[in-house]
Structure 1
Amino acid sequence: MRRIADGKVRPDWRQQLAAQGIAYNDTPTPDGGTMSYWREGPFYDFTSSEIDALEKGAATLFEMCVAAGDFVIDHNMFQLLGIPEFAWDQIKRTWWDDETEPGGRSKGDFSPSIYGRFDLRYAGEYAGRPQLLEFNADTPTALPESAVSQWYWHQQTGQGTDQWNAIHEALVEAWKRNLTRLRQARTHLLSPVTIHFACDREEDSGEDLFNTEYLMETARQALEPMGYRTKFLYMDEIGAGDVQAGDRFYDAQGEHIDVIFKLYPWEWMLQEQFAKQCFRDMADPRRDSTVWIEPPYKMLWSNKGLLPILWHLYGDDPERRDLLLPAYFESERPEWMTSYVRKPLLGREGANVSIIVDGITVASAPGDYGGPFVCQAFAPLPGFPDNRGGEWHPVLGVWMIDGEPAGLGIRESAGLITDNLSNFVPHTIDHSEFKL
């Protein structure tokens, strides 16, 4: 793994990004200026064996997260994760999927899950295995630039022999498989089924909107030939009648919302006025309720409380502990842990994260997220110098599509906290000009 600081620069790269829909490239900075989110020129190069290590590590981490989900449900640990009681039953029901109880009765509902992203610390094959920083399991973004923009960059610049990027194709297949299974599980769904796609109108950069539109396009490619329709709306256009009186969720045109993908975090939805109604609707014994993608069980993984639970389960496992960093709920942090990263359970983009080294706070990021917090052992992100004397710290985002590793997107920052001022940087495999 190496950072190539002086790769090719396409003369029209800004126009290329705009044509691909990356309208949020110009990021506002605290001083009132702007910076480019996409970094043209530099890129990261990997050997094939390093990509294999990332792929195998991510697959193993996913298995570990499944075991952690079982552990939370078996031990009723929802309160520790800050999840209100009215959501517990539907988290269980969607987690159990279509498993059956003795006697053949369905234990849960089949609940489609399309994607997620592991954020990993990794410095190459000579520096150990990749290590989990967090699991963006509910509403990860940076998807179009990972799936589309960096692939076009690779083709147009001719750098590297390959790229780990089967994201788009995997998304198309995920929609096909999951919606086919959903129709089998919910035979009442009429044809044509409409899949709604929604995001927050208040997010003004355009990032959420385009990520949602991109996912809608992959669903259209997958499902239109199968007789499905796709339809966009904003979250504030979702209408909610009285579920207990037989009313359901519908869109602005009065169409019942059978299935909806929402780029809107579950923890936000839990605070909405229709939150309890949403979970009562999902409890409909006729299973004629709205199906939400991603499903409620993703609250078990998108919560930073996953990190100490994983460490509790695998901290003594010689085969798997190297994929993790020691982590504890703040109230249980051991005395020996004096260097750690303090993270809110539900923070995003580095907000309210602090780095403590030998008991002293050396870096922190502002934000609106409060506690509780978890403490994860501090292991500095690897530093790669550039040609101007600076140093960059990458976080490797491995995309999990339908539960399988499908590709890589990298964000780098000048500091050790990856925040909303980080840059997206493309990657290659086996860039021969720079092989050692």
Structure 2
Amino acid sequence: MTPTSQGKATVFGTLLGVAEGNVCSYSSDYDTADDKEYPNRSSYRSYYDGIYMGYKWQCVEFARRWLYINKGYIFNDVTMAYEIFNLRDVREIHSNQNLPLNAFRNGSLRHPEPGAMIIWDEGGDFENTGHVAIVSEVLPHAIRIVEQNMDFVPWKDHRNFSREIAYKIGEQGDFWLHCSPKEGHILGWMLQTEDDLHSEGTPEINSQLYNVHLAEHTTNTDASRPWLNIANEDEAAYVEMMKGHWLTSVKEDFNQYYTVSQSAEALLETATDELHGMFMHATDYVLQHPELLESFGFPEAIIPRIRQSWDKRVNQLITSRFDFALSDAGLKVYEYNCDSASCYMEVGKIQGKWAKHLNIKRGHDAGKSLFSDLVSAWKKSDVKGKVHVLQDSDPEEDYHALFMQDAIQSAGLECERVVGLSSLKWNADGIIVDSQGDPIRWIWKTWAWETALEQLRHEIVDSPDESFINHPNVREGKTPKLADVLLHKDIMVYEPMWTLIPSNKAILPVLWTLFPNHPWLLETSLQLSDELKQKGFVSKPIVGRCGANIQLVDENNQTLAEKGGNFGERDYVYQQLWPLPKIGKYYVQLCTFTVAGNYAGSGVRVDPSMIIGKDSDCMALRVLEDDVFEISQRQS
């Protein structure tokens, strides 16, 4: 927006006024934002009480924040403000219950009231975006509103509202808000009420926008021509693992990629941010109910350390990954890989370089901001010295660790990669040091925490015995075990130990209990119920990696797919069957990546079987404008 005659425009983030509930409105003049304070898109995200509100300081962010503070509920995040008029519920944060939200057209017999949202269509000053404001007061001939991103000047005379809008009431009681030509068209207002008299109906949603499409790029580019820079260590390691400059292991797929619509990307972003909050809520709930922890299978001696990690390091998550099924049938989350997830380099670097190599201009790279977001997260971390990236001797972990090392070093931190543990030693003071004799203090690891717990299970004969944890068998000059390193009291590990809980499949039944029938969740139980048998189910170990020991069974008790592995002796959960969509010759899983708990990009993993595993390929994912996506859908 632009400044008005009320006063002089202010710089980004300046307080403009304070509304009911002490809700502040800030200047959103992006041209004046400090690049050092706001270096990337992630730095513009606004949170209140740990809940994502929107982008600073847009109108949608203000509306969500005002409703949360004054009413205790928020509406789902939207790409454009005018899309709010199509929403039909809000979520009460305390109870996690959905409450009805009704839309009333300008001219409705149902009049606006304090707390209502006024919604502008796209056009005028609100071209492409629309606008939203909150009604603070209804006067005899005007309403007063509070808002953000209308202009960049302070509210006049320090009043608690931004401006007034005149209205008239027709002979039938129809209520009409004045529409300024400069601002365009007011669609109407939204009220949280169960009374839908005079309201608009539920809008039709084009569910086809949530399908994933297979595309093929026609090009004369020689597929065998090198396109990854082997002078960069991470790219050289990737080329070595792939045995060439390939995006996937199937050479015939080189020109193929997948597309999603902009609406689908917005849904993935919203779901990722909100599901992260739900998993965090469930983690806290589990720690408050010790009886639930029994189903997670942790050694008893480690539980106090997990609690300590949650209490002190809840906000120190660097990155994680959600696994989704997405189609016109809806979006469902399978699990949250909150500890030692993979595929970052494929999504954050390789798919973008592949598109440049083929000169693909169609759409945009779904992982384009992942690397810069990782750099930003490391800059904001509490690291005060050298970071050691610990990995096993594995070709995939080589480039994965090197990619993260690059992000850490780009954040201005010293970083050293450690392959295996043989170069680490105990010194005379009981400190673990690297090959140069530098103490190990800060770690990012590709190893799973569960690997260290397995060592504990073998070391601790009597489960309450904490001697191994608190008094490890230190021998100067000897190589420590993984558990010695990760559980050392003076070593800070990323991702923190508390990520053991949301990464464990035993969290899934807890989520279903806390958020029953949530549209993004699948019914999950620790016991195989008759209801799940009737729907079809997936059995999966509470701790497992790469699709190991998973079995898919349909409603007729027929096994659709299964995979062996090393986790067969662990306890299982049973999740409602929701197969991945098969697109072309592959089943396709959408993966979204978080950085500091926030959405940072998307990618796809594919497999000819119904189970995504260690050897499943990553393929490129591009995002198309909705209208372009619809055209391509009709042509396919």
Task: Kindly indicate whether the alpha-carbon contact (under 8 Å) linking 1:38 and 1:424 is maintained by their aligned counterparts in 2.
Answer: no
Instruction: Write the mapping of 1:15-414 to structure 2, written as runs, cut at 5 A.
Output: 15-17=226-228, 19=230, 20-21=235-236, 22=238, 23-25=240-242, 35-36=249-250, 39-76=253-290, 77-97=292-312, 109=313, 112-123=316-327, 126-128=328-330, 130-156=331-357, 157-165=359-367, 166-179=369-382, 182-183=383-384, 193-201=385-393, 203=394, 206-223=395-412, 228-237=413-422, 239=424, 241=426, 247-272=430-455, 279-280=469-470, 289-316=490-517, 321-329=518-526, 332-338=527-533, 339-357=536-554, 358-370=556-568, 371-385=570-584, 391-414=585-608
Superposition deviation, residue 7 in structure 1: 2.0
Q: Number of matched residues?
A: 382
> Which structure has more helix as a fraction of its residues?
1
Relative distance call for 1:38 and 1:26 in structure 2 (3 A) is farther
| Cα deviation 1:19-70 (Å, max 9, x = unaligned) | 333232259xxxxxx9439942221112111100010011111010001100
Kindly indicate whether the alpha-carbon contact (under 8 Å) linking 1:154 and 1:160 is maintained by their aligned counterparts in 2. Answer: no
| C-alpha RMSD of matched pairs (Å) | 2.8
Contact 2:212 2:326 in 1 (8 A): no
If the length of structure 2 is used for normalisation, what is the TM-score? 0.56
Question: What SS does the aligned partner of 1:409 have?
Answer: strand
CA contact (8 A) 1:250 1:256 kept: yes
Q: Letter of the aligned partner of 1:199 in structure 2?
A: Q
Q: Does 1:3 align with 2:239?
A: no
Shift in alpha-carbon separation, 1:197–1:14, aligned structure 2, 3 A: farther
CA contact (8 A) 2:214 2:583 kept: no
Deviation at residue 404 of structure 1 after TM alignment: 0.4
Distance 1:59 1:241 in 2: 41
User: C-alpha distance in 1, partners of 2:549/2:252?
Assistant: 24
Whether contact under 8 Å (1:352, 1:367) holds in the other structure is: yes
Q: Deviation at 1:148?
A: 0.4
Identity of aligned residues (%): 23
Distance 1:349 1:292, change over 3 A: same
TM-score, normalised to structure 1's length? 0.80
Structure 2 distance, partners of 1:394, 1:251, is 41
CA distance in 2, matches of 1:13, 1:410: 23
Q: Secondary structure at the match of 2:411?
A: helix
- SS of the residue aligned with 1:69? helix
Give the direction of change, closer, same or farther, for the CA distance of 1:403–1:38 in structure 2 (3 Å limit): farther
Query: 1:115–1:402: 8 Å Cα contact kept in structure 2?
Result: yes
**Which is bigger in relative contact order (C-alpha 8 A, separation at least 6)?**
1
Say whether the 8 Å CA contact 2:249–2:617 is kept in structure 1.
no
Larger Rg over CA atoms: 2
Q: Describe the SS at the equivalent of 1:151.
A: helix
Q: Give 3-state SS (helix, strand or coil) of 2:592's partner.
A: strand
- Give the 3 Å change call, closer, same or farther, for CA 312–13 of structure 1 in structure 2: farther
Question: Unaligned stretches of 5+ in structure 1?
Answer: 28-33, 98-108, 184-192, 386-390
SS of aligned partner of 1:87: helix
Q: What is the DSSP-based 3-state SS (H/G/I as helix, E as strand, rest coil) of the residue aligned with 1:309? A: helix
Q: What's the CA shift for 1:164?
A: 2.4
